[in-house]
Amino acid sequence: MEYSERRKRKIGYIIAIVALTAAAVTMTVLYAVAQKGRMDSEREYRALAESTYSKSYYALLYNMDGLETATDKLTVASGKATRQEYLADITTYATAAAENMSAFTPEDTGDSKMLKFINQTGDFAKYLDDKLNKGGALTERDWQTMEDIARSVREIKSSLATLGDEVEQGDFSFVDALKERDSRFSETLSAFDSKDVEYPSMIYDGPFSDSLSEREAKALTGEMIDEAKAREIAGRILGGEISDISVKEGSKSVFESYDVEATTPMGRAYLTVAKQGGFIVSLNYPESAVSSAILTATDAENVAESYVRTLGIPSMKAVWASLYENVYYINLAAYEDGVILYPDLVKVKVAADSGRVLGMESLNYIYNHTARTIGAPTVTEQEAAEAISEYIAVSSCRLALVPTKGGGEALTYEFFGTKGGENGDKYFVYVDAESGEELKIMRVLDGERGLLLQ
């Protein structure tokens, strides 16, 4: 009996050992399968990443080659049509190159300076194209900036192209190269610094900011000033300790002006002063980092409204404010008898940390501001509201004079509302105050450059 019990226990142990062994084998097999699946998945992901990086690299080379060709051609173009053709090419190639560049995770590789340069190049080309479309002329500073851009583009293309031999080696890996900060590929992406390129401070647009109607400087009055007076005006506007002031002949396309440069505590400042009456056309301080957004939009609007009064432009009201990289872009419009005059715009840049003015531009005001007789609306606000889509919940309304096709102007009701609830899409809708017909709709976009209109 005792022998039988021992035998049973022994068999039980054997069964338990066999069962545990089988379980271990099963777990080992399952683990091996899981590991293989994970490794296969990682290999697939790595292969996909390598393919994406490779395509982005070669596409970037192609677009930088096109950008180099377009910038080089622009620097020797003399006709307006050819200049605009190459400016359009620059914008197209820069946009595509920036998309290619974004594939290389800027926050990890340190290539944000290169990406920012490419984006700014596209913006600058569009800015120059808009200037030519509005009857303006490219200044000496514009040409110098484009020369600097062309040189930097050549440097980027050359640096990227020299990586070709390394990239085409059979054992090259974009994934590994991007992980290693000291790899030649990562260093090439992070080493670029466009210190030689000083972009003008471009002021992004709000409602009707492109409404340069007739090419006539309606707002310019008074006597013609000489270089000495332009120098005096620049000293008054810049204030503080300034030095090394230079005055040169500026644009002569629609009205004559002086281009003035001066060294200020903030760096080299650039002004354009109209010869007739000494009116300030534009002012740009050098770009500098703005640490944080302390001012509210209302604070920035008050700064902008006060600043343009010091320039001799009264009765201006902030109609649009957008915050981008801690800088407020403010649009001011003339305000008369309760009506916003959108054709008469002045644009101002305000630093959100200190409230200092970084730039201004008044071309719309110069071309469009004049004495007007504005009649009363013939339809009521309630009647005009009937033209608004039932899907838009209106939250505000005011009278606004807006530019129309063909260089005309129309008195409208400006309705602001949202579609899809409080956090839905935002719209401006303009209804003719005489006919009650809907004239224009603008959608507010919250994009990379702050609030924009489409």
Cβ partners under 8 Å of residue 105, min gap 6: 178
Amino acid, single-letter form, for residue 127: Y
For 148-163, what is the mean pLDDT?
A: 82
CA distances (Å), 437 to each of 141, 395, 414, 441, in order?
45, 19, 12, 12
Say whether pLDDT at 447 is over 80: no
Q: How far apart are CA 199 and CA 326, in angstroms?
A: 18
pLDDT tens string 280-297: 988 888 766 677 788 898
**DSSP symbol at 102:** G
Please give the pLDDT value at position 194.
Answer: 53
140-162 vs 112-133: helix axis angle to the nearest 10? 140
pLDDT tens string 92-139: 888 888 777 776 754 444 446 777 788 888 888 888 888 888 777 888
Strands 409-419 and 425-432: antiparallel
Q: How far apart are CA 189 and CA 117, in angstroms?
A: 12
Question: What is this structure's pTM?
Answer: 0.59
* Other Cβ atoms closer than 10 A to 29: 10
The pLDDT-based confidence of 186 (bands split at 50, 70, 90) is: low
More confident residue, 454 or 164: 164
Query: Is-contact 112 289, C-beta < 8 A?
Result: no
Q: How far apart are CA 110 and CA 366, in angstroms?
A: 43
More confident residue, 106 or 446: 446
Say whether pLDDT at 353 is over 50: yes
Q: How far apart are CA 71 and CA 122, in angstroms?
A: 11
Query: Do you know the residue count of the chain?
Result: 454
Strands 392-403 and 339-351: parallel
Nearest CA to 242 out of 271, 266, 274 is that of: 266
CA atoms within 13 A on the CB side of 379: 18
What's the chain's Rg over C-alpha atoms? 31
